[in-house]
């Protein structure tokens, strides 16, 4: 017989924030790969044979997705740091206290 375990709201919120960071980073990375392999620019002398190529979306849409993915990631990281700020301070103090004791 299986028992249903509920997850605390704190854990659920952490998962949601972590998921937002992951999705924003993934979107920014994938669109960044698009820009890496399909750079903008003219085709003077055939330097860029991919100029004008459209893959799924127009270039402006890729730029918008890249921008919003980055903003989502940054915003979620800021919220993550704000929520865990006390823990960061405590661990930093503990780290420096141990370093001072060993020195």
Could you read off the pLDDT of 39-90 as tens digits, one per residue? 776 655 566 666 677 788 888 999 999 999 999 999 999 999 999 999 999 9
Q: Is residue 94 included in any domain, yes or no?
A: yes
Given this model, what pLDDT does residue 98 score?
Answer: 79
Residue 1 inside a domain? The answer is no
Q: Does residue 67 fall inside a structural domain?
A: yes
4 assigned to some structural domain: no
How much is the pLDDT for 57? 87
Number of structural domains (the chain) is 1
User: Is there a domain that residue 16 lies in?
Assistant: yes
pLDDT tens for residues 88-102?
Answer: 999 999 998 877 887
DSSP 7-43: PPHHHHHHHHHHHHHHHHHHHHHHHHHHHHHS-----
Q: Nearest Cα to 73, choosing from 30, 31, 34, 27? A: 27
This prediction's pTM: 0.77
Range of the domain at 85: 9-41+52-102
Q: Which residue has the tokens 């924030």?
A: 17
Q: What pLDDT is attached to residue 48? A: 64
Assess if residue 46 is contained within a domain: no
Instruction: Judge contact between 57 and 12, C-beta under 8 A.
Output: no
Q: Which two tokens stand for residue 70?
A: 């980055």
Residue 3 lies in a domain: no
Q: How many angstroms separate the CA atoms of 97 and 83, rounded?
A: 24
- Given this model, what pLDDT does residue 27 score? 97
Instruction: Flag whether 47 is in a domain.
Output: no
């Amino acid at each position: 017989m299986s028992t249903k375990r509920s997850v605390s709201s704190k854990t659920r919120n952490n998962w949601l924030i972590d998921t937002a960071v992951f999705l924003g980073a993934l979107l920014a990375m994938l669109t960044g790969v698009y820009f890496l392999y399909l750079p903008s620019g003219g085709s003077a002398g055939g330097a860029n044979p991919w100029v004008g190529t459209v893959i799924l979306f127009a270039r402006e849409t890729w730029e918008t997705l890249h921008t919003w993915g980055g903003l989502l990631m940054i915003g979620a990281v800021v919220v993550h740091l704000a929520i865990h700020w006390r823990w960061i301070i405590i661990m930093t103090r503990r780290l420096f206290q141990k370093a001072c004791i060993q020195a």
